[in-house]
């Protein structure tokens, strides 16, 4: 079982576009909220996270018993697997998708079932339905998908959920939903997953504060799940896994969403610019609704990685498959443009 591989660090002065992080520093209001908590870090955090869970339940119109928090959505994904699957059970997901899914499933003793993406790098929902067996306990739908940035539309997602047996939990992982500008994005605070949760008894939804909210270093995400599933999550969760600092920062971030929305719009604009640059340079970039662009370069993935590194850009490379480049600041994307242009100049002079 391979260990999870963190995005590579960047040398001083280079652009780190390997981890889908926010390019913006913390908001001043979030920093102030953290400073107010520093005097109490000798105490354990509140495991029930009452303030942030109460705010999230009110925001989404659900009961507090249906909301759980964890150290990022990845820990919540692990909770859900442990809550519903055991040795020999099957957990399904598209592939390629979030890199942690296979490991999390194996750690739980369950069997990962990888269903290949279609020719457009999207979830093949028909193939996923066909792969369900009596041992299937959970299905992840990463939407938008990491690392391809593709989405399952609201209508097709509902058709899929309706066709899945009710004893199989469908987990809609919406870590990147704030960057989605398709018809899937149905509100300022939620994607289609929460609406499906209201209508179907076998749906859970994952959200995170790591991406759009810029709290990747504090590790906090949340799940909305049926109350019995959420209760099981709390039993398998790591005690005190979400610090008081993270809880306070999340509350402060909810209070500052107007400022955060401007930052999200900037990331989306730079994502579109990055996509155009890659296409103009002849690389097979995939249209994305996340905060990154996927380039399925195949055997040329390492070549693209090397030319980006030569230009001071660190991306996430999957040799033989492709390169994922996060949407950074305008100066980060300037550096990508320079790297691509340098290659074009070299080829022209040759």
Is 173 in contact with 141 (CB distance < 8 Å)?
yes
Residue 328 has pLDDT above 60, yes or no: yes
Q: What is the pLDDT of residue 269?
A: 97
Give the three-class secondary structure for 142: strand
**Residues spanned by CATH 3.40.640.10 within the chain?**
28-254
pLDDT in tens, 223-271: 999 999 999 999 999 999 999 999 999 999 999 999 999 999 999 999 9
CATH 2.30.30.100 matches 28-254: no
Query: % helix / strand / coil in the chain, to the nearest 5?
Result: 45, 15, 40
For every residue of 10-51, DSSP letters joined together read --TTSEE-SS---SSPPPHHHHHHHHHHGGGTTSPPPTT-HH
Per cent of the chain over pLDDT 70 is 95
Q: What is the pLDDT of residue 188?
A: 41
Q: What is the pLDDT of residue 50?
A: 98
pLDDT in tens, 213-229: 999 999 999 999 999 99
The DSSP element (H or E) to which 184 belongs, if any, is none
Give the three-class secondary structure for 230: helix
pLDDT in tens, 153-196: 888 999 999 999 999 999 999 999 999 988 645 544 445 899 99
Q: Compute the mean pLDDT over every residue in the chain, rounded to the nearest whole number.
A: 94
Quote the tokens at residue 297. 């370069």
Q: What is the pLDDT of residue 336?
A: 98
Q: What is the pLDDT of residue 183?
A: 61
Q: What is the pLDDT of residue 8?
A: 87
Order of strands, sheet of 90-95, starting from the edge strand that comes earlier in the sequence: 67-70, 221-224, 203-208, 169-173, 136-142, 90-95, 111-116
pLDDT in tens, 57-72: 999 999 999 999 999 9
pTM for this model (two decimals): 0.94
What is the average per-residue pLDDT within 113-129? 98
Rg of the chain's alpha carbons, rounded to an integer? 20
**Residues spanned by CATH 3.90.1150.10 within the chain?**
15-25+258-349
Domain range 15-25+258-349, CATH architecture: Alpha-Beta Complex (3.90)
């Amino acid at each position: 079982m391979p260990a999870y591989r963190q995005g590579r660090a960047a040398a001083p002065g280079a652009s780190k576009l390997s981890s889908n992080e926010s390019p913006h520093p913390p908001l001043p209001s979030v920093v102030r909220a953290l400073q107010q908590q520093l005097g109490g870090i000798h105490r354990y955090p509140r495991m029930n996270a009452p303030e942030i869970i109460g705010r999230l339940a009110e925001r989404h119109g659900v009961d507090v018993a249906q909301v759980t928090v964890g150290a990022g959505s990845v820990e919540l994904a692990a909770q859900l697997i442990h809550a519903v699957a055991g040795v020999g059970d099957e957990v399904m997901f598209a592939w390629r998708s979030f890199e942690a899914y296979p490991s999390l499933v194996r750690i739980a003793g369950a069997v990962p079932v990888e269903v290949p993406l279609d020719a457009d790098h999207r979830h093949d929902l028909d193939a996923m339905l066909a792969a369900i067996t009596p041992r299937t306990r959970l299905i992840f739908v990463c939407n938008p998908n990491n690392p391809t940035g593709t989405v399952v539309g609201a209508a097709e997602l509902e058709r899929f959920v309706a066709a899945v047996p009710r004893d199989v939990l469908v987990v809609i992982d919406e870590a990147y939903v704030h960057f989605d500008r398709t018809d899937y994005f149905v509100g300022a605070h939620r994607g289609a997953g929460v609406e499906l949760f209201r209508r179907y008894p076998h749906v859970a939804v994952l959200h995170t504060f790591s991406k759009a909210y810029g709290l990747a270093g504090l590790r906090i995400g949340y799940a909305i799940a049926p109350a019995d599933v959420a209760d099981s999550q709390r039993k398998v969760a790591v005690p005190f896994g979400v610090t008081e600092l993270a809880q306070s920062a999340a509350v402060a971030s909810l209070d500052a969403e107007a400022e955060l929305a401007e930052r999200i719009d900037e990331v989306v604009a730079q994502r579109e610019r990055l996509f155009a640059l890659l296409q103009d340079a002849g690389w097979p970039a995939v249209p994305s609704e996340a905060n990154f662009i996927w380039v399925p370069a195949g055997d040329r993935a390492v070549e693209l990685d090397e030319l980006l590194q030569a230009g001071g850009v660190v991306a996430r490379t999957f040799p033989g498959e492709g390169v994922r480049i996060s949407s950074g600041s305008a100066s980060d994307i300037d550096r990508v443009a320079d790297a691509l242009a340098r290659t074009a100049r070299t080829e022209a002079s040759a």
